[in-house]
Amino acid sequence: MRQIDSDFLALPLRRLADAALQRARDLGAEHADFRLERVRAETLSLYDARLEGAADADDLGYAVRVVKDGTWGFAAGVDLTPEAVARVAEQAVRVARVSAPINREPVELAPEPVHEATWVSSYEIDPFDVAQADKVALLADWSAGLLKGADHVSARLLQVKEQKFYADTAGTTTTQQRVRVHPSLNAMKASQSGFDDMSTIAPPVGRGYEYLTGTQWDWQAELAALPLHLEEKLAAPSIEAGDYDLVIDPSNLWLTIHESIGHATELDRALGYEAAYAGTSFATFDQLGELVYGSPLMNVTGDRTVEHGLATVGYDDEGVRGQTFDIVRDGVLVGYQLDRRMAMMKGFGRSNGCAFADSPGHTPIQRMANVSLQPAQDGPATDELIAGVERGLYIVGDKSWSIDMQRYNFQFTGQRAYRISHGKLAGQVRDFAYQATTTDFWQSMEAVGGPGTYVLGGAFNCGKGQPGQVAPVSHGCPSALFRNVRILNTVQEGGK
Amino acid sequence: MTTPQELVERALALSSADACVVLADDASSANLRFAGNTLTTNGVAHSTRLTVISMSGRGVGVVSRSAVRPDGLADVVAAADAAARAAQPAEDARELVSGVPASASWDEPVPPTGIEVFEGFAPALGEAFSAAESGGRRLYGFAEHTLTSTFLGTSTGLRLRHDQPTGRLQLNAKSADLKRSAWAGVSTHDFTDVDVAALDAGLARRLDWAKTRVDLPAGRYETLLPPAAMADLMVYLFWSAGARDAVDGRSVFAKPGGGTRVGERLASMPVTLSSDPAADGVACAPFVTAHASSRQSSVFDNGLPLAATDWIREGRLESLLQTRYSAELSGLPVTPAIDNLIMRGPGDGRSLEEMIASTRHGLLVTCLWYIREVDPQTLLLTGLTRDGVYLVEHGEVVGEVNNFRFNESPVDLLGRLSEVGRSHQTLPREWSDYFTRTVMPAVRVPDFNMSTVSQAS
């Protein structure tokens, strides 16, 4: 198991925390927490096998959050001295005082056992230990291969190392480190009918650089096939709009889960805290335990524990231990994603650990756990799902996505779609998008693939909150079969 | 504490590279967030970031670190110098910009913002909560003030500085049952000019409009898009107007067979879409600041002066977003991106109220949401209407209509405008996290594509 980097541990973590928490106590705060974090992020961008941009950033700072007379106060700073930290604690209390006239709901936090813990995510090679030139050379080599069958190739490698130290007035202290990487390549080609592109479907993962060089993903196979997929797509016929049965690959379905289940079951959305921005949810709190979300085959869990998950942590940003919990069981809504305030407000007793702040300068808000659709234990393989379709589409890879502010109406496209005719794939089609209402869609799910079809997909950059924050999150799912889903022709939608 | 100016000077002196650019950003912010007539979160933050861009031959190395202290400066510069020496030649490598006079304010201290910026606003918001409560409304929203000071120094002698204050308020009123919703957004320098009570009154009027509900099916409708909705569509068009992508044949601005569509008529009416760093009320940085290179920016262009630029002039595509490198590729003038966007129609144009009054049968949209690209060839976008779609009959709003998902290309839409109203400063609903300085008109589109009905309210 990896250890937390010694240079992070060498920072005066405990001394700064003590200074902040003591000052907050002295000023009468009922609760205070101190979070110091360093986020190292490197992005490499190549275009046509040449380095286009390299950004290597390191964000180091801390935040003090207090509850004073029932009102939140939050302040963040960068000067790593006990005196400066104490001043930031004073600022947090002042923010609470200025905000008091507009606070009508006193803040109370659900209790959490006191933890004293260290946690490191599961990875082998720290990507920041690999020379930038070596990483560029690998991406350039992959790009050069793709350029043999494409006009232009983009390659990108995102790498993040997140280190957090947390302490609160209840006595919890946690120190954590996690790593994630996302390599992606895109090939573009023009033809007489226009241009199109095709991207890799390898998901982002909570792993180290071994993801690019090891056996966790078959990069050679995917890169070899990509130009052929693109060539076929450019020559493919335009889809005829109408209702089709869909077999959706995990590389596409993860995003539909993210948008239509993940966000819809965030309790802050259901309670209206995001109403002016990200939106609310059709899955309102009064429907907990009753809402028929989908077919009886639908079982969805939230977790912050799965190995290599992007939302996986030991402890969240309120000191709550990572957990696994049910969200949809046998098609019925049975749970929400929580933070400590909402858990207390709605009588859950304990938070399920979904508080997260994306940087030292932002306050923790409820963010998404790894929300995953469970496979059927003896479920079919993907080709067996396809065999059960007379007229349909098999959709692979995510691309365009959009969903309304209550998570009812969505529209997704994909990297590629294959026509299914009499149970067999019959070549790609172009210009497709699927459009549905969330509960109609999930209730139309007739079959769920087996564990052999299950893949952990996800994203680095889920946006939410004001000021805006981004969060990494994984979604596992099997292939699944949906009946009679509306398919659009996007060229016709454009009025052509 | 070391000042940003001192960090820039010391970093330049420490660099052993052939050339060097140093950017020091000092940012402070304060925010209040509220929902259901009460505070939800708040905060103040201060951050500093130093970006060292070293050039060795045509190789470039970029290292960016927050909260750099004097004793850590040498490591940051050495890392950037080493990265430059190890880098392969950059395609966009050019001589660094020189000969730009130093900013007069270079030596002045940074003026941070803080929670005090809300000392007048917060009590007024509290009163608005009380008024809303008694009127059966719930207020949701976000108030934020940021001040970012950027210091740019180069080994060619540039010493440029820009202080950018950005304030915004988003106010969303909902009926107690959350079935009706209305929204208003404003940009502000310091919140002293924000009249919360007036904004709330305007939203209350719209919630009254929505007491009459009319269900309409999907279809193409004559539609009035207000300035905020146009801002979201035009910002996306602006972001998609990179010259490099057009030259490479991979954007809506690529000419089939090669080249770009510059010079081609895009709009049915003589509208002009432009940017101007000195524009009144939406002033922004007058020089290029590039922390990393991409297809739309080049670190070698740092400090390049920005001037008023027409992207679309009287309906014709005039310019694309350029670096000096992409300008050579495209054979077009160097017109880098600018941090504001202004659209004006012919003449002064009518107000939105006058446009409503002259509408026989049509829809009035409040704003658009979750806008995403569906097809880059046509720049087809999808998204939702939000916070009120109203039916206009014989010049009057007669009720609220259900929300819709739209599928439309802003480029295609420009070719179908039947009226362009008076332009106002406005806040984009969706993109205001990234782009706040816009001046836009309301427009009339005879056949806006409402693709399907959304049940969201």
pLDDT band at A191 (very low <50, low <70, confident <90, very high): confident
pLDDT score recorded for residue A194? 87
Overall residue count recorded for chain A in this entry: 496
Residue type, A99: S
Helix (H, G, I), strand (E, B) or coil at A169: coil
Closest alpha carbon within chain B to A341: B40
**Secondary structure, 3-state, B102-158:** CCCCCCCCCCCCCHHHHCCHHHHHHHHHHHHHHCCEEEEEEEEEEEEEEEEEECCCC
Is B64's CB within 8 Å of A78's CB? no
Whether residue A322 contacts residue A206, with contact meaning beta carbons closer than 8 Å, is answered with no
Is A405's CB within 8 Å of B451's CB? no
- ipTM for the predicted complex comes to 0.93
Residues 297-326, chain B, touching A (beta carbon < 8 A): none
Tokens 């009102």 belong to residue: A71
pLDDT score recorded for residue B67? 87
Question: Rounded to a whole number, what is the distance in Å from the CA of B10 to chain A's nearest CA?
Answer: 19
Query: Does the beta carbon of A467 lie under 8 angstroms from any beta carbon of chain B?
Result: yes
User: Into how many domains does chain A fold?
Assistant: 2
pTM: 0.96
Query: Does the beta carbon of B16 lie under 8 angstroms from any beta carbon of chain A?
Result: no
- Sheet with A332-333, strands from edge to edge, namely A332-333, A324-329, A300-303, A370-373
Q: Residue A62: in which H helix or E strand, if any?
A: strand A50-68
Same domain, A352 and A413: yes
Same domain, A219 and A286: no
Q: What is the largest CA-CA distance in chain A?
A: 74
d(CA B220, CA B388): 18
Q: Tell me the per-residue pLDDT of B412-429, one tens digit each, with 9 for 90 and over.
A: 999 999 999 999 999 999
Q: Has residue B1 got a pLDDT over 90?
A: no
For the segment B237-263, the average pLDDT, to the nearest whole number, is: 96
Same domain, A309 and A371: yes
Closest by Cβ to B67, choosing from A53, A78, A104: A78
Kindly report the number of other CB atoms within 10 A of residue A12's CB atom.
14
Q: Strand B38-56 relative to strand A71-77: parallel, antiparallel, unpaired?
A: parallel
Helix (H, G, I), strand (E, B) or coil at A160: strand
Same domain, A341 and A247: yes
Kindly report the number of other CB atoms within 10 A of residue A454's CB atom.
18
Q: Tell me the per-residue pLDDT of B346-385, one tens digit each, with 9 for 90 and over.
A: 988 999 999 999 999 999 999 999 999 999 999 999 999 9
The CATH class for the domain spanning B4-207 reads: alpha beta
What's the mean pLDDT when you consider all of chain A? 97
Same domain, A426 and A323: yes
Is A74's CB within 8 Å of B44's CB? yes
Q: Has residue A396 got a pLDDT over 90?
A: yes
Same domain, A169 and A255: no
Is A362's CB within 8 Å of B45's CB? yes
Which chain A residues are Cβ-neighbours of B40 within 8 angstroms? 72, 273
DSSP A261-303: IIGGGBHHHHTTTTTTTT---SS-GGGTTT-B-S-TT--EEEE
Q: Has residue B241 got a pLDDT over 80?
A: yes
Same domain, A87 and A140: yes
DSSP A109-138: -------EEEEE-S-SS-GGGS-HHHHHHH
pLDDT score recorded for residue A131? 93
pLDDT band at B69 (very low <50, low <70, confident <90, very high): confident
For the segment B146-166, the average pLDDT, to the nearest whole number, is: 97
pLDDT score recorded for residue B257? 87
For the segment A314-333, the average pLDDT, to the nearest whole number, is: 98
Instruction: Report the CATH number that the domain containing residue A193 is assigned in CATH.
Output: 3.30.2290.10
Q: Has residue A1 got a pLDDT over 80?
A: no
Same domain, A212 and A177: yes
Query: Does the beta carbon of B33 lie under 8 angstroms from any beta carbon of chain A?
Result: yes
Same domain, A60 and A130: yes
Q: Has residue B249 got a pLDDT over 90?
A: yes
Do the domain assignments include residue A1? no
Full domain range(s) for residue A322: 242-493
Residue type, B307: A
Do the domain assignments include residue A350? yes
Q: Which of B397, B373, B415, B405 is nearest to B205 (CA)?
A: B397
d(CA B334, CA B92): 13
Q: Tell me the per-residue pLDDT of A242-258, one tens digit each, with 9 for 90 and over.
A: 999 999 999 999 999 99
pLDDT score recorded for residue A55? 87
- Token readout for A212 is 């690019």
Same domain, A178 and A281: no
Q: Has residue A192 got a pLDDT over 90?
A: no
Q: Tell me the per-residue pLDDT of B280-296, one tens digit each, with 9 for 90 and over.
A: 999 999 999 999 999 99
> pLDDT over 70 for what percent of chain A?
100
Do the domain assignments include residue A301? yes
Best of B21, B33, B378 to disrupt the A interface (most A CBs within 10 Å) is: B33
- Token readout for B298 is 């080049």
Residues 41-100, chain A, touching B (beta carbon < 8 A): 43, 45, 47, 50-61, 63, 71-80, 91, 94-96, 98-99
Beta bridge partners of A37: A61, A164
Whether residue B39 contacts residue B32, with contact meaning beta carbons closer than 8 Å, is answered with yes
The domains of chain B are located at 4-207, 212-457
Do the domain assignments include residue A413? yes
Whether residue B336 contacts residue B284, with contact meaning beta carbons closer than 8 Å, is answered with no
d(CA B266, CA B36): 44
Which chain A residues are Cβ-neighbours of B30 within 8 angstroms? 95
pLDDT band at B192 (very low <50, low <70, confident <90, very high): very high
Query: Does the beta carbon of A137 lie under 8 angstroms from any beta carbon of chain B?
Result: no
Best of A51, A98, A105, A156 to disrupt the B interface (most B CBs within 10 Å) is: A98
Is A435's CB within 8 Å of B452's CB? yes
Q: Half-sphere exposure of B241 toward its Cβ, with a 13 Å CA cutoff?
A: 27
d(CA A351, CA A111): 8
- Last residue of a domain, which of A204, A235, A266? A235
Q: Tell me the per-residue pLDDT of A125-145, one tens digit each, with 9 for 90 and over.
A: 999 999 999 999 999 999 999
Give A496 or B187, the one with higher predicted confidence.
Answer: B187
Q: Has residue B321 got a pLDDT over 80?
A: yes
Same domain, A183 and A263: no
Q: Strand A355-356 relative to strand A365-366: parallel, antiparallel, unpaired?
A: antiparallel
Q: Has residue B99 got a pLDDT over 90?
A: yes
pLDDT score recorded for residue A495? 82
Which chain B residues are Cβ-neighbours of A277 within 8 angstroms? 142, 170
Same domain, A203 and A270: no
